[in-house]
Structure 1
Amino acid sequence: MVQRQAIVAVLLRADRFLAIRRGPAVPRPGYWQPLSGKIEPGETQREAVVREVREEVGLTVVPLAKVWESETDDGRFRLHWWTARAESGDVVPEPGEVGEARWVTPEEFLLLDPVFEGDREFFERILPGL
């Protein structure tokens, strides 16, 4: 099986980041997670971060740095984790992909249910060291 490439955008605003609940049109709806999406052919990771965020929640962001790499629990995707700044603008969720969106602290994220184990690992182990 060929692993697809995807980005995870950890969108920062003050001491919070944007968590979304997966919408009805995507696999495994209802899970809370940072924004994510597939990298299109010929697209850089940085371009994918900007495009996915704009498509899913209507924000214009500035990618900052790639901070981690992981795999999805089913092994189908290699995830490239990026921090990005969303200085202004209102979140306008794309209803098929995003059921709900909230600016949360990492501690609040860990209380959401359900979340993916890899996302939990990022907020418990990786983010505190950044």
Structure 2
Amino acid sequence: MTAKHRKASRILLLDGQDRLLLFRGSDPVVPDVTWWFTPGGGLEPGESTREAAVRELAEETGLRGVDLGPVVAYDTVSYSFREQRYEQEQWFHLARTVETVLDHSRMGRDEHAELLAARWWTVEELGETAETIYPIGLADFVGRLLAEGPPVTPVRL
């Protein structure tokens, strides 16, 4: 199976208590396997990572007044979803919000069906959970961001 190449913008959204927003999802083909992941999604043609992050946050969270910061990390992932292979380049923006009540009404039907839960996590909870969190090493990275601030140049996860 040939992999589709995709570019995505992801958001490390922190609230006023330094908790990180993650969504729980699954692949409809393998519904018993779940994982937690950051908000975000694919770039539309001609869209920058910043523009995609703003659009995706509005669609997925409904939050207003989010302070969208710089790209702090990037990586490339390979995964399968709905029996299609993907190679995805993704960039992670750091963002802050004081609002924590989410509105998923602007999500697409497919996205809404695949979103099982949303939760604000502390770094400690991320580090202690046995659940699958993507990207791997997220707890350590967010801990470093909180302690040291954004890196001068984005780091590879």
Any idea what the Cα deviations from partners look like across 1:66-111, whole Å, max 9, x if unmatched? Answer: 1011111446101101111122252123432421111111221231
For residues 2 and 24 of structure 1, the distance between their equivalents in structure 2, rounded to whole angstroms, comes to 17
Amino acid aligned to 1:122? L
Correspondence list, 1:107-118, <5 A = 107-110=124-127, 111=129, 113-116=131-134
% identical equivalent positions: 29
Structure-2-length-normalised TM-score: 0.68
Structure-1-length-normalised TM-score: 0.81
Residue 96 (structure 1) aligns with: 113
Segments of structure 2 that go 5 or more residues without pairing to the other structure are 80-85, 146-157
Contact (CA 8 Å) 1:9, 1:84: kept in 2 or not? yes
Contact (CA 8 Å) 2:21, 2:39: kept in 1 or not? yes
Question: What RMSD, in angstroms, separates the aligned Cα atoms of the two structures?
Answer: 2.6
Contact (CA 8 Å) 1:45, 1:80: kept in 2 or not? yes
For residues 27 and 65 of structure 1, the distance between their equivalents in structure 2, rounded to whole angstroms, comes to 35
Q: In the TM superposition, what is the alpha-carbon distance from 1:24 to its structure 2 partner?
A: 6.2
Residue 87 (structure 1) aligns with: 98
Q: In the TM superposition, what is the alpha-carbon distance from 1:120 to its structure 2 partner?
A: 2.6
Q: In the TM superposition, what is the alpha-carbon distance from 1:45 to its structure 2 partner?
A: 0.8
In terms of fraction of residues, the more strand-rich structure is 2
How many residues are matched?
127
Contact (CA 8 Å) 2:77, 2:88: kept in 1 or not? yes
